[in-house]
Chain A
Amino acid sequence: MQPLAFLRHTSAVLVAAALPSLVAGCGGDPTYVRGSQVEGLDDQAMSTGIDKRDIEQLLHENMKSLMASPLANGWAQAGDKPTLAIFPMINETSHHIEGQLQAVLSDEETFMVNSNLVTVVSRERQDQMIAEVERQQGGHFDPNHAAEYGRQLGAKYYITGKVYTADERAYGEHRVQYFMFMQVIETATSAVRWQNKATFTKALIRD
């Protein structure tokens, strides 16, 4: 190797070794983008929490099951559009997904309103009534009092649900299995008239 070439090579090695550490923490700036700008932006999982794709899947599975049930058929045949209250889903998971569960709830509400099979109790009225009943407990929804809320709202049925997780870490990986249980309950008798379980799994795995 010629001296100059050797020196150039040596310098290149030194710089290559030095540069990554010297500029550590000075990575490229993040950029905000629109979903329409980046194809498949919603496809990739960003965490083990719930995202838009999961919400769509949950809603599709649950509503498909409800619409195919004898209960919905009965509603369609009777055509009397009974009153339905949609109560918050209880988060029994290891993730802070209250916001996402609210989104699922809103989507359900929209779906049920558009189905034209039932009369959906307005969320505002519902929240107001729950706040009054639970004034002593900070106004928060208490699933143990769901039947009482339903009666006070004059709802013939109410939808309620819970989400659980089986959360495990092992072999340097993390897997979260979600189980969403939903029910339609008849207020007067507390009888479960429809029930469904939807599941999906999110994980952080090694490539």
Chain B
Amino acid sequence: MALLSALRRAAIGSALALALLSETGCAGHERRVKATLEALDRNAPEQAIAALDEELGVAKPEDVPAVQEDEALLLLDRASVQLARGQHKLSARDFGAADQGIEVLDLSTNAAADIGKYVFSDDSGPYKAPAYEKLLLNTLNLLNYLAMRDLGGARVEARRLATMQAYVKGQGDESALLGLGSYLAGLAFEKSGRREEALLHYDEALRFAQYRSLRDPLRTLTQGKKTRPGIDALVGEAGALAPLEETGEAEIIVVLGFGRVPQKMPVRIPIGMALALVARELTADQIAQANALVAQGAISFVNYPTLGPGRGGYEVPSFGLDGKPQALEQALDIEAQTREAWHKREGTIVLSAITRLLARGVAGAAVQGGTTAAINAASSGNDNRNKDGAAALGMLLGMATNLTLSVLDTPDTRSWSTLPARVAIGRVRVPAGKHKVKLSARGMARTFDVDVPAGGWAVLPYFILR
């Protein structure tokens, strides 16, 4: 009797402790960046940086933590915000650290994490960045180096991007080309006086989209000669254009990122709907098992991540030069890339959520059965009160097991949250000298005072992440 009471107290204590843990245990990644995104919505990038510093466990933006798991992702977020603040050196440093961290995580295989993914939680183990994020990392860092007029650094990022593009292509991913990266890589080589490499990258960019802003630079680079079909098609019969050095002109390139990609959000969907989503992926045994658990009322909902709404996707940005409006063209629709990558993986994610649900049900049932049997075996055979107690205790421990695994199951909402929804680009020849460039989007505007010498150039990034 005393033994059973002690067991009961222990089991109730365990269940209560676990219930409490479910309120205070590991939150999903979306909670880690909540303060950052709210700060960006208020147009307070400094507060966004402070929130990220806190999550990274560092005292100031100049500090870089050891990159072990999700720090790489938080560094990507901090790098984007620093880029938006015009802090290109800090942004480049953060991108560099994140790049190295993501590479190590990407190549690491961890059996425990893989098991965890299927039993405990979808965000067990290291973050594996999707292809478009890896490519955008080098693309945005290229932009940092161009903004700093560091062509050597820009060329390094261009080479890193090319290596990553080849790798992604080799993996059979057709999203190996993002256009903007190749455009900026071409620009880095063009301004370094490396014509052939510039043409190679521009040609790649044109396979992604017909960038009208490349027409005049290509007329200069090709001097009216036929080079590659994509380039020839864009240049058409326009003929050669004299280089900036000869005309005494300069060039201004603006890159305007605005809005924000959809964030991953945890959702609860009815088990029936989840089963319908992945019915073709489940075995007959798994479906029968799931149906049995549903019939017992043991499970009714599945937790899994989904994409929330994007921000600013329909915005029309503007580019003014010395008071006159200039043309902008879309360089990249990152929101579309995000959704496309997500839809490819959604089935797998729902499937693993159901797998974990079944694992929890099986573990709970095993603990319940085992506890009841063990207590019954240990107590005298005719004591019905002991048997009832054993059954109740078994049920309680089964619940505790289920609850433990539920506490640990957080939908994987990890993603690069501070990417702009879209990026626009504008490129104009201007007389050498001082100019006022005004960029605006999402109710925000910034004026840049630029002084460019003859034959010179300036790259002006402006990111509004709200």
A residues touching B (Cβ–Cβ < 8 Å)?
1-4, 6-7, 10-11, 14, 17-18, 20-22, 24-25, 27, 30, 47, 90-96, 98, 136, 138, 144, 165, 167-170, 172-174, 204, 206
- The reply to whether B153 and A96 form a contact with Cβ atoms under 8 Å apart is yes
Smallest beta-carbon distance A90→chain B, Å: 8
- Residues of B at the A interface (CB closer than 8 Å) are 3, 7, 10-11, 14, 21, 25-26, 66, 68-70, 96, 100, 103-104, 107, 109, 112, 116, 120-121, 124, 149, 152-153, 155-156, 159-160, 162-164, 166-167, 170, 193, 367, 370-371, 374-375, 378, 397, 400-401, 404-405, 407-408, 453
* Inter-subunit contact B107/A94 (CB<8 Å): no
Q: Which residues of B contact A174 (CB under 8 A)?
A: 103, 107
In the assembled complex, the CB of B324 is this many whole angstroms from the nearest CB of chain A, namely 28
Question: Complex formed: what's the CA distance from A94 to B153 in Å?
Answer: 9
From A4, A10, A91, A204, give the contact of B3 (CB < 8 A): A4
Give, as a whole number of angstroms, the nearest-CB distance from B118 to chain A: 13
Cβ contacts under 8 Å, B107 to chain A? 172-174, 204, 206
When chains A and B are docked, how far (Å) is the Cα of A25 from the Cα of B163? 31
10 shortest A-B CB distances, which residue pairs? A94-B159, A169-B167, A6-B374, A167-B163, A21-B408, A94-B160, A3-B375, A3-B378, A14-B404, A30-B66
Interchain residue pairs with CB less than 8 A apart (7):
A3-B374, A18-B408, A21-B408, A25-B70, A93-B159, A96-B153, A174-B103
Quick check: A18 and B453 within 8 Å, CB to CB? no
A22 engages B26 (CB within 8 Å): yes
User: Which residues of B are found within 8 Å of A18, using beta-carbon distances?
Assistant: 21, 404, 407-408
* Contact B375–A21 (Cβ < 8 Å): no
Closest A residue to B375 by beta carbon equals A3
Kindly state the separation between the CA atoms of A18 and B162 in the bound complex, as whole angstroms. Answer: 42
Hey, which chain A residues are within 8 Å of B103, CB to CB? 174, 204
Check A98/B152 contact, CB under 8 A, given A7-B371, A25-B70.
yes
Q: Is the interface of B mostly helix, strand, loop or mixed?
A: helix
Q: For B370, what are the chain A residues with a Cβ–Cβ distance below 8 Å?
A: 6, 10
Q: In the complex, what distance in Å separates the CA atom of A169 from the CA atom of B173? A: 14
B-chain residues with CB within 8 Å of residue A92 when the two chains form the complex: 155
Q: Is the CB of B371 within 8 A of A17?
A: no
Please report the C-alpha to C-alpha distance between residue A3 and residue B373 in the assembled complex, in whole angstroms: 9
Q: How far is the CA of A174 from the CA of B156 in the complex (A)?
A: 16
Beta-carbon contact of B109 and A21 below 8 Å = no
Contact A21 B26, beta carbon cutoff 8 Å? yes
**A3 and B3: CB pair below 8 A?**
yes
B14 A11 Cβ-Cβ under 8 A = yes
Closest to B108 in A: A206
